[in-house]
Structure 1
Amino acid sequence: MPPFVQLAQFREIRPYVRFAHYTDFPLKVPSRYIRDHEFILVDKGRGVLYTESGPYVYKEGSLLMIPPGVLHSFRDDLDASSGYAHWAIHFDWEPRSEEELLQIVGEEAGPIRPDEAPGEASSLSSVWLPNLVRIDGVGEEIRRLIESVVEAFREERPFRKLELQSAMLRLLLVLATGLQEGELTYESLGDRKTKTESKGRAEITDYILKIHDAVRDNTDAGEIHNRWREEVFFSAPHFHRLFKEQTGLPPLEYATKLRMEKGARLLLGTELSVKEIAFVCGYEDSKYFSRLFRQREGMSPKQYREHFLAGK
């Protein structure tokens, strides 16, 4: 399963579309790295995607998912009788600062040619999509969603950025749901990660989902954190690096974040007292819960409830 399907279950996605376009001529793209992620839907035609692990055929209905830092090229078959049509979206899963990108790839826009790339370019990687992926047999719904992203990018309309992000989120949701439920099948085109590291990432994902279950069921998330050495068989620094890579936070901070989010939902969705909500969220000391809540939300639980339920 592509990692983004699992990550999307517990990590916020704020896609930033850098470029989106449609072409109706045969593509011939020389070897390159890219800085961001690219989705290419082959609406008409066929061709070959070349990677360091070998060539892969694509055809009408193929969706190519290309991550940063993977050397590749592709070329359409010039004998395609049905013509050529491609929809392409360049995007980041989360906004990245220009300064961060410039440190890696320099000031020029566009793809990075292998003979021009600094050493760091080929080491660009993505926790969301480590490897090239091809999905075949993409249906009309996904094609329409990709078209809506391209249209939103082209048009200068009120709320363009909001419309663009909304369309991209909808596309990612349909892709993740289709892959999760087996309605879409995919092939990973070359594996940049070792089996050991892939297994480690899968173990971390399972561990994160256990923390979600603990917070939901009001069991001790701290106890689960203390058991990680028995369940995840690698060193503490490696464990914490992979965990933070997937969630953006260290384990205990992430569990606290989930508890505060649960508390916020209960404050607005129930009539439980702050003390009762603190207990349901795993805190026997309601004052400690309130202090953590204020640090996250900028107001006390009582103020939070009054602010958002005012007039209701």
Structure 2
Amino acid sequence: MISDSHRKKEGFQGQKAIVIPRKILSSKCANNHIISALYVTDIGYYPKAKYHYRERPHGADQHILIYCHEGKGEVTIEKNRFTIEAGEYVVVPMKIAHAYASDENKPWTIYWAHFKGTISDSIVSLIKKQVNGYKGFIQNNEKSIELFNEIYGQLEKGYSSDHLQYSNMCLWHFLSTFIYNQFDVKGKANQMDTIDKAIDFLKNKTDQVLGLEEIAAAVNLSVAHFSYLFKKKTGFTPIEYFNHLKVQKACQYLLFTDLRIKEIALELGIADQYYFSRMFSKVMGMSPNEYREKRIH
């Protein structure tokens, strides 16, 4: 633990930080319909922050995300105490007692942001659900750091409505890189889990008719276990999801080709065009012909 005489809240070589005036937050963020759902209150970067230490017995008025780029430190949230190292991040919910400190021998370099807004609680809950706690690991940090710099750079230019709106719209993307770090910047899975693999399998089979047994076998799982995992992750049964993919493909045919409904059904492996129309209507809330007419006009 850092001795009292060495503790520092700030004052590190190369550090940068912006604390947005609370008057600006209340007048231009909290009351702005575009960004009131989620907005930055404070943001900063502390390189090699030796003796960095903060303790808030009553928590902060905002949620906090700290990303450790290099070195390591220690974080305590209520009674949960853990080490955070390079590549890891921690989320600290607002109003929760916490403390954190840089390691004396291997001081951390951190990117951090405080944020709040009407949906900020839900964002933090989602992060906690994804990492099963307060601490997570981010595999590819280039996009996160790029977005951090984009947010910081805009706020550095001042607090005009345009700068605030742009930077805080970037905040959504910034946080999403931590929540959904399994996707790279092109939207492809870096390390696909079993359900990701199953979805990729289904995407390439929209011209076929598949049974549940065949889909489960493609990822080497029993039907029961696969069905449970699939619905837990997606909210849909595998067959429902497969039908959604077929309908998505059908929408493209309806928009960009002159194929008749029967021909589109056959492209999707469905011999009965009436069955296809019913499936399409159930998903889209309108018939294939209505969809085509609506998009044309």
Shift of 1:266: 1.4
Shift of 1:212: 1.9
How has the CA–CA distance of structure 1 residues 258 and 205 changed in structure 2, closer, same or farther, with 3 Å as cutoff? same
Q: Is 1:226 matched up with 2:213?
A: yes
How has the CA–CA distance of structure 1 residues 150 and 30 changed in structure 2, closer, same or farther, with 3 Å as cutoff? same
Q: Where does residue 295 of structure 1 map in the other structure?
A: 282
Shift of 1:232: 4.1
Q: Residues of 2 paired with 1:159 and 1:273: CA distance?
A: 49
Q: Residues of 1 paired with 2:176 and 2:203: CA distance?
A: 22
> Can you give the 5+ residue segments of structure 1 that lack an aligned partner in the other structure?
1-15, 102-110, 112-120, 186-200
How has the CA–CA distance of structure 1 residues 144 and 166 changed in structure 2, closer, same or farther, with 3 Å as cutoff? closer
Q: Cα deviation per residue 1:207-245 (whole Å; 9 max; x = unaligned)?
A: 232222212xx1223x3x223564544572x43332112
Query: What letter is aligned with 1:21?
Result: D
Q: Where does residue 88 of structure 1 map in the other structure?
A: 113
How has the CA–CA distance of structure 1 residues 159 and 53 changed in structure 2, closer, same or farther, with 3 Å as cutoff? closer
Q: Percent identity?
A: 21
Q: Is 1:263 matched up with 2:288?
A: no
Structure 2 contact 154–164 (Cα < 8 Å) conserved:
yes
> Can you give the 5+ residue segments of structure 2 that lack an aligned partner in the other structure?
1-36, 47-51
Structure 1 contact 67–129 (Cα < 8 Å) conserved:
no
Q: Cα deviation per residue 1:79-123 (whole Å; 9 max; x = unaligned)?
A: 8999x76323669xxx9898xx7xxxxxxxxx9xxxxxxxxx9xx
Larger Rg: 2
Query: What letter is aligned with 1:293?
Result: F
| Structure 2 counterparts to residues 1-312 of structure 1, below 5 A | 17=38, 21-23=42-44, 26-28=52-54, 39-42=65-68, 47-49=73-75, 56=83, 58=85, 62=87, 64=89, 66=91, 74-77=100-103, 86-88=111-113, 126=129, 128-130=130-132, 132-135=135-138, 138-139=141-142, 142-149=144-151, 157=161, 164-165=168-169, 168-169=172-173, 172=176, 176-177=183-184, 202-215=193-206, 218-221=207-210, 223=211, 225-228=212-215, 230=217, 232-234=220-222, 236=224, 238-310=225-297
- SS of 1:22's equivalent in the other structure is strand
| TM-score for the superposition, normalised by structure 2 | 0.57
Alpha carbon RMSD of aligned pairs, Å?
5.2
Q: Where does residue 193 of structure 1 map in the other structure?
A: none
Q: Residues of 1 paired with 2:194 and 2:139: CA distance?
A: 28
Structure 1 stretches (4+) deviating beyond 6 angstroms?
30-33, 50-54, 78-82, 95-98, 150-154, 158-163, 179-182
How many equivalent residue pairs? 241
How has the CA–CA distance of structure 1 residues 219 and 159 changed in structure 2, closer, same or farther, with 3 Å as cutoff? farther
Q: Residues of 2 paired with 1:148 and 1:67: CA distance?
A: 23
Structure 2 contact 42–113 (Cα < 8 Å) conserved:
yes
Structure 1 contact 67–130 (Cα < 8 Å) conserved:
no
| TM-score for the superposition, normalised by structure 1 | 0.55
Shift of 1:295: 2.4
Structure 2 contact 39–168 (Cα < 8 Å) conserved:
no
Q: Which has the larger displacement, 17-26 or 246-255?
A: 17-26
